[in-house]
Amino acid sequence: MHVMNHVHQSGVNCLHLSGDFRGPESCFLFNIVSGGDDQALHHLQLRLAHSSAELDTKLLTSETIRSSIQSESIDKIVYYNNRNQTRNYHIRFFNQHRISSAHSSAIKDIWTDGTWVFSTGLDQRIRCWLVGEHSELTEHARLVMSVPKPEALDARA
C-alpha cells in the first residue's frame, strides 16, 4: 500500500480515474484527478507495466525501498493472479500536480480523459484544464452557470 500525504487539507469530494493502453511500451498509463473541500485540484499519473526479473530483485532490497520512499516517484510491485498464473507488475507513481485554488469554493465533481480535466464546484463554475507535460494543468476555459448548487458533472471523450 502506498499512502499519499498532503493531497487535500480536508474532505475529498470527487475522484476520477482514466486509463490508456500504451501499445509500444506494453503498459497502462492512468490519470487520477481529485477535488476537495479545500478548493484544490490534484492530478497524479501512474504507470502499470510487466516487471522483469532483475527489476523485481532490485526493488526488494531495503536500500532501494528506502531511497524510493524519499523520492518523488515511488516504485511498487503488485502481484496479479489469473487462473493460477502469477504475473508481476511494476507500478510507478509520477507527475503529481496540485492547484491550490482551482475554484472559489469546494469542488464537487471532476472528470478526465488524460488530456482534458473538467471540474465543477459550489462557485457555480465549470472549469476546463489542459494536461500538459509533467502533468501540469493549465486553465483553458471557464463557464459560469446559473445552477445554484452543482453537485455532478458528466462528460464523454
Rg over alpha carbons for the chain, rounded to the nearest Å, is 18
Residue 28 pLDDT greater than 60, yes or no: yes
Q: What is the mean pLDDT of residues 22-33?
A: 81
Predicted local confidence at residue 148, as pLDDT: 84
Domain ranges of the chain: 12-47+95-144
Name the residue with higher pLDDT: 15 or 79. 15
Instruction: Report the distance separating Cα 92 and Cα 79, nearest Å.
Output: 14
Name the residue with higher pLDDT: 47 or 77. 47
DSSP 155: -
Instruction: Report the distance separating Cα 44 and Cα 157, nearest Å.
Output: 19
Phi and psi, residue 148, nearest 5°: -60, -45
> The C-alpha cell of 35 is what?
477535488
Q: How far is CA 77 from each of CA 2, 27, 80, 89, 134, rounded to the nearest angstrom?
A: 11, 14, 10, 6, 23
C-alpha 22: how far from chain center: 17
Q: Does domain 12-47+95-144 have CATH number 2.40.10?
A: yes
* 121-137 pLDDT, tens digit each: 999 999 999 999 888 99
